């Protein structure tokens, strides 16, 4: 055995292991967040729809059954009335109608509040009634045994009735909606019926008297599109055609077209 040590002239190679680097974070959290936001939006839409009228529910249900709005047919819907399919334009009209109804409702409440706050109208509480019909908002000035708006048998408004209508007219001056005025009488025949003047003429003349007071209050004369004289043909108390409750002036604020 040789005593000489053999050395390798090749320098040693030292390998150093690098610590593992963190990989780039993925975008999974963004997808989860987007799903969460979408779910919340869907929840808010459902809650909003449930609080709307049946017409709006039908419009939304119809849209989801047939987004193109081309055909008309039947089908199962999640909402009541969802079998009726209507197009997008109709849905938009219905939603606009709901918004307008809310605005008119607020105006009606303001009118009643204003009348109740004025002492000169304190005895007219309950004589001004507001409701909604197919044409729009209906305001009725209803007479009673102890409170009449016209001189007996005439179309002459008393002072209090004129002030009342001018107050309403001032409120209407802020809107552009078309207005219809109707006059109604009870079934008592007009004394001069033989001369051709009947309750039809009387009711029409009373509606015209109301029109003039509204215009003095600020209503644009072009807003008034129709005067109707119904005589005793639309009684509020058909069981008693002579009831004073049948005598009234009706003001219809039409929905915008």
Q: End of a domain among 38, 53, 86? A: 86
Kindly tell me if the per-residue pLDDT of 68 is higher than 60.
Answer: no
pLDDT, residue 11, reads 62
Residue 17 binned pLDDT confidence (cut-offs 50, 70, 90): low
Kindly tell me if the per-residue pLDDT of 106 is higher than 50.
Answer: yes
Tell whether 60 and 144 lie within a shared domain. no
Tell whether 140 and 48 lie within a shared domain. no
Tell whether 109 and 201 lie within a shared domain. yes
Note the pLDDT tens digit of each residue in 2-16: 555 555 556 666 655
Note the pLDDT tens digit of each residue in 150-201: 988 899 999 999 999 999 999 999 999 999 999 999 999 877 655 688 999 9
Q: Please spell the DSSP secondary structure of 81-148, one letter per residue.
A: TTT----HHHHHHHHHHHHHHHHHHHHHHHHHHHHHH-GGGGGGTTTEEEEE-SSEEEEEEE-BTTB-
Q: Which domain holds residue 145?
A: 96-254
Range with the poorest average pLDDT among 22-36, 106-120, 243-257: 22-36
Residue 76, domain member (yes or no): yes
Residue 23 binned pLDDT confidence (cut-offs 50, 70, 90): low
Tell whether 123 and 213 lie within a shared domain. yes
Tell whether 184 and 243 lie within a shared domain. yes
Number of domains in the chain: 2
pTM: 0.65
Per-chain mean pLDDT for the chain: 82
Residue 16, domain member (yes or no): no
């Amino acid at each position: 055995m040789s005593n000489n040590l053999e050395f390798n002239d090749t320098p040693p190679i030292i390998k150093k292991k690098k610590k593992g680097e963190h990989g780039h974070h993925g975008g999974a959290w963004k997808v989860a967040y987007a799903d969460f936001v979408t779910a919340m939006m869907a929840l808010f839409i459902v809650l909003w729809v449930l609080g709307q009228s049946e017409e709006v529910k039908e419009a939304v249900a119809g849209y989801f059954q047939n987004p193109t709005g081309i055909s008309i047919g039947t089908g199962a819907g999640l909402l009541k009335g969802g079998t009726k399919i209507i197009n997008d334009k109709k849905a938009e009209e219905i939603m606009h109608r709901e918004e307008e109804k809310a605005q008119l409702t607020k105006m009606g409440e303001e009118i009643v509040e204003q009348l109740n706050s004025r002492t000169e109208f304190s005895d007219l509480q309950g004589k001004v009634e507001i409701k909604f019909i197919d044409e729009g908002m209906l305001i009725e000035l209803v007479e009673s045994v102890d409170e009449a708006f016209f001189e007996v048998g005439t179309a002459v408004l008393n002072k209090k009735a004129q002030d009342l209508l001018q107050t309403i007219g001032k409120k209407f001056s802020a809107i552009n909606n078309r207005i219809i005025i109707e006059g109604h009488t009870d079934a008592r025949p007009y004394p001069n019926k033989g001369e051709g003047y009947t309750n039809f003429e009387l009711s029409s003349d009373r509606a015209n008297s109301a029109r003039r007071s509204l215009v003095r209050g600020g209503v644009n004369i072009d807003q008034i599109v129709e005067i109707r004289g119904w005589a005793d043909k639309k009684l509020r108390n058909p069981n008693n055609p002579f009831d004073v409750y049948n005598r009234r002036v009706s003001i219809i604020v039409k929905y915008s077209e």
